[in-house]
Amino acid sequence: MSFPKGFLDELKGRIRVSDVVGRKVKLRRQGREFIGLSPFTNEKSPSFTVNDDKQFYHCFSSGEHGDVIKFLEKTENLSFIEAVERLAAEAGMDMPERDPHAAERDKEAATLIDVMEMAAGFFRQKLAEGAGAEARAYLERRGLRGKTIDDFGIGYAPGDDRADRTSLLKFLKSKNVSIEQMIEAGLVIGGPDIAEPYDRFRNRVMFPIADARGRVIAFGGRALSADAKAKYLNSPETPLFHKGRQLYNLHRARKPAHDEGTVIAVEGYMDVVGLAQGGIHHAVAPLGTALTEEQIALLWRLAPEPILCFDGDKAGLRAAYRAVERVLPMLKPGHSLRFALLPEGKDPDDLVREEGGEAMRDILAKARPLSDMLWEKEISTGAWDTPERRAKLEADLEAAVAAIGDPKVRSHYAEALRERVRKFFGGAPRQGGGFRQGGFRGGFQGAFGGQRAGRGNVRGRGGLGRGESYMPPVTPELRRSALASGASGEQGREGLLLLTLLNHPELLENYAEDISRIEIRTPALDRLRNEIIDIAALHAPLEREALKDHLLSRNLADIARRLEAGSAFRSDRFAWPDAAPDEAEAGFLHTLARHRRAIVLETELKAAERALAEEMTEENFARLQAIHAQLERAEPADGL
């Protein structure tokens, strides 16, 4: 939703940050600020400050910083719009009217929402009638109580392939719902090649799927017939429902997840329902697929380290390993996953029903970190009893760590895995590189094209013989040159990325998350990036002139103008307004990848310098030179 100019400023001007924060944090005045214990960390000495004049809070222990809207988002797991709505009600302000196109889209969605609510009511009614006897018996066998069934809105879809296939269709038709709407909502199957439309769900226990606001947008149906083609059947993709972007029970789990400090992702509807009946209400489930990037991002909105719960059998481990591969490129400081593995042959629903909620809580308390699962995934693929096999293990681990997008997280994983390999191989010193000081193969240098120096017989200048070596001194000029090339190139790449977004803001629809996660070290450009991301969250799609007007109101237009006026980017035609959309996208992605690689090299450069300071060897010096050479090839340019 987009807001009129000045609306958010007026809203924040009417609400004191300390009043809102004070409901969660015990504050005391200290000069012109308030201070208290952080709501984000378990600290004993207060490091959390609130400044009403500047309208922000800052947490020194966790680095969290923002305005009153962000505080509600962070502490109550609200979306941006939900936080604004709550504050507007408190401030006595009416929410602004939606733009005509958004209003029309909402009207259409609301119409389909009404249809879905009618269907949900129909399914609940049928569960209570004679036709729902078999479904009620199934739910009773699964140990579900009446209150649980009501809380989750579970129902029954009557009919079968041999008799009545249109029970829901007839009901909705009596409510003046058109066949076209039924098909669009995914409730009825029809089309030019189908003589008579018919109900999608028949003879199934029905689980309504809600959006973040609790509105029914889809269904999942569990077959009661043993010969059904699909045991579970979900709604198809519709204007309301995109299964890779939603989680079952998200709206109910939000507050309990905040209270518990974590969220649990299980495999199915019955797992979520069974856990809730056992007193564990902070569980969600994907919708018939492996976890997607969008679903992981949703989990991270609820908690920084969600727990993924899998069966302890081979299929469960395979699913856990797929989740490891999926999340590695997304890792960022403070955000990861943990893994809880159940006894073989048990799912969460079984465990809670047979042994109670405490048994499940015990397993959740023992959830393993992502680094453990990554290690287990790699060592489980074979025996490592020969040099060649050990080399393969190293190579596989290098490739896994290289997939991590954030340089800080990648560096710590490299260090942790280097230590694990050392212990796994018996703690003996490695000969010939591999796991040496300064990084796991030089901070996984090989994964990014670095050159490794050999050891042993080194013949340098002057024809040195066996056992001798030549190592040029690491001069201050060499070090300054390496750092300077990285710094100017870094600023140039950062400027080029932001210039492309200024002229092609439509890229933010697909790449806002990518640009928000990269490291930008130039303070002015970092401010510009953050403001662009913020305004993109409010206006979709974002237009070029609207973006520039917003930056002008935020006193950031000068930075944007300096980017546009600079000559450094004239040859990068994709960044300018006249570039075709596909050309702009390709150039943006290339620059983004180049920037990420250069940040990796900067991190490796520091590690190489530390390694050389600790051990003055030809290998360490060659490593430093190789990284320096790669930085020189990073196409530096100064955009400001």
Report the range out of 205-209, 409-413, 513-517 with the highest average pLDDT. Answer: 205-209
Q: Do residues 563 and 499 touch, judged by C-beta distance below 8 A?
A: yes
What is the DSSP-derived secondary structure letter of residue 347?
-
H/E segment holding residue 57: strand 56-59
pLDDT at 152 over 60: yes
pLDDT in tens, 536-589: 766 656 788 888 877 877 778 888 888 887 656 777 888 888 888 888 888 898
pLDDT in tens, 167-179: 999 999 999 999 9
Q: Is the model more confident about 314 or about 183?
A: 183
Residue 66 CA: distances (Å) to CA of 15, 48, 74: 14, 12, 10
Report the range out of 104-118, 278-292, 466-480, 622-636 with the highest average pLDDT. Answer: 278-292
Who's near 477: CB < 8 A, 6+ residues apart? Answer: none
Tell me, rounded to whole angstroms, the distance of Cα 505 from its chain centroid.
22
pLDDT at 186: 94
Q: Do residues 336 and 323 touch, judged by C-beta distance below 8 A?
A: no
Q: What is the phi-psi region of residue 319: left when phi exceeds 0, alpha when psi lies from -120 to 50, beta otherwise?
A: alpha
Q: CATH for 7-91?
A: 3.90.580.10
Who's near 606: CB < 8 A, 6+ residues apart? Answer: none
| Residue matched to tokens 């400001």 | 640
pLDDT in tens, 306-356: 999 988 788 888 889 989 998 999 998 889 999 999 988 788 888 898 898
Q: Do residues 64 and 48 touch, judged by C-beta distance below 8 A?
A: no
Q: How far apart are CA 389 and CA 202, in angstroms?
A: 53
Q: Mark out the alpha helices in 518-617 (DSSP H runs).
A: 523-538, 544-553, 557-565, 581-614
pLDDT at 629: 73
Q: What is the amino acid identity at position 3?
A: F
pLDDT at 513 over 80: no
Q: What is the amino acid identity at position 63?
A: G
Q: How far apart are CA 129 and CA 138, in angstroms?
A: 15
Q: Per-residue confidence at 120, pLDDT binned at 50, 70, 90? A: very high
- Least Cα distance to 503 among 534, 536, 547 occurs for 547
Who's near 100: CB < 8 A, 6+ residues apart? Answer: none
Q: Where are the beta strands (DSSP E) in 300-388?
A: 307-310, 338-341, 368-369
Q: Do residues 160 and 203 touch, judged by C-beta distance below 8 A?
A: yes
Q: Do domains 7-91 and 250-375 have the same CATH topology?
A: no
Q: Per-residue confidence at 376, pLDDT binned at 50, 70, 90? A: very high
Tell me, rounded to whole angstroms, the distance of Cα 35 from its chain centroid.
31
Q: How far apart are CA 254 and CA 532, in angstroms?
A: 28
Q: What is the mean pLDDT of residues 224-241?
A: 87
Q: What is the amino acid identity at position 68?
A: V
Q: Where are the beta strands (DSSP E) in 241-336?
A: 264-265, 283-284, 307-310
pLDDT at 226 over 90: no
Q: Per-residue confidence at 473, pLDDT binned at 50, 70, 90? A: very low
Q: CATH for 476-632?
A: 1.10.860
Lowest-confidence segment of 52-56, 248-252, 452-456 by average pLDDT: 452-456
Phi, psi of 189 (to 5 degrees): -100, 125
- Would the CA dihedral through 50, 304, 357, 144 be positive or negative? positive
User: In the chain, where are the structural domains located?
Assistant: 7-91, 100-241, 250-375, 382-448, 476-632
Question: Looking at the domain 100-241, which fold is it?
Answer: DNA primase DNAg catalytic core, N-terminal domain (3.90.980)
Q: How far apart are CA 41 and CA 62, in angstroms?
A: 7
Note the pTM of the prediction, 2 decimals.
Answer: 0.56
Who's near 512: CB < 8 A, 6+ residues apart? Answer: 533, 536, 537
Q: Where are the beta strands (DSSP E) in 151-241?
A: 155-157, 188-189, 198-199, 204-210, 216-223, 232-234
Q: CATH for 250-375?
A: 3.40.1360.10
> End-to-end alpha-carbon separation of the chain, Å?
33
pLDDT at 460 over 70: no
Quote the Cα angle for 134-137-143, to 5°: 150
pLDDT at 429: 41
The whole-chain average pLDDT of the chain stands at: 80
pLDDT in tens, 56-107: 899 888 878 889 998 998 888 777 888 888 898 888 888 876 555 555 555 5
Q: How far apart are CA 176 and CA 111, in angstroms?
A: 12
Q: How far apart are CA 250 and CA 303, in angstroms?
A: 12
Q: How far apart are CA 10 and CA 84, in angstroms?
A: 12
| Residue matched to tokens 């991590």 | 404
pLDDT at 39 over 80: yes
Q: How far apart are CA 228 and CA 303, in angstroms?
A: 38
- Least Cα distance to 75 among 90, 62, 91 occurs for 62
